[in-house]
Structure 1
Amino acid sequence: MKTLYDVMQLLKRYGTIIYTGDPIADLELMEEEIRELYRLQFISAKEYSTAILILRQKKRQ
């Protein structure tokens, strides 16, 4: 996983598609969903940390 697109595909794999029209809100919602997937043990710690890192980098841009 290297890009925002990869994170979106990960979420899509679990039936989550996020688009509100507000890019920052989208990133925040994606981060919440990733946290929830990790909490429920659907994704590994490596996937979680990589996805969160990508989302936070995108938010800073």
Structure 2
Amino acid sequence: MAASPQLRTLYDVQQLLEKYNILVHLGKRLWDIELMTIELEHVYTAGLIDVKIYMNARAVLNREREYELRTQKDKSKWSVNHHGR
């Protein structure tokens, strides 16, 4: 049995999905992450990847989603504080 791929970054998850001809680029990083999460679920439920790979990829996507949400929140605070609203 082949070793499980090491998934550490969003790029790694993109590469995993590309193995199944799934290419995601919607133009906004958060949207890409959301769609990759849905597509990953489909790949897993189809039995194409095992639970270990699925959970690893989900952890990466969850971490990246949280980062994006935090970044957007910080940008929103900055905009309010610097525009006097």
Q: Any runs of at least 4 consecutive aligned residues in structure 1 with deviations exceeding 6 A, and if so which?
A: none
Trace 1:13-52 onto structure 2 (pairs within 5 A).
13-52=19-58
What TM-score do the two structures reach when normalised by structure 1?
0.96
Higher Cα Rg: structure 1 or 2? 2
Task: Please state whether the residue corresponding to 1:59 is helix, strand or coil.
Answer: helix
Instruction: Give the percent of matched residue pairs that are identical in Structure 1 and Structure 2.
Output: 34
What TM-score do the two structures reach when normalised by structure 2?
0.70
Whole-angstrom CA distance in 2 between matches of 1:28 and 1:45: 19
Residue 15 of structure 2: aligned partner = 9
Of 50, 53, 57, the residue aligned with 2:59 is 53
The number of residues matched between the two structures is 61
Matching residue's letter, 1:24: L
Structure 2 residues not aligned, in runs of 5+: 1-6, 68-85
Matching residue's letter, 1:9: Q
Matching residue's letter, 1:58: E
| 1:9 CA drift (Å) | 0.3
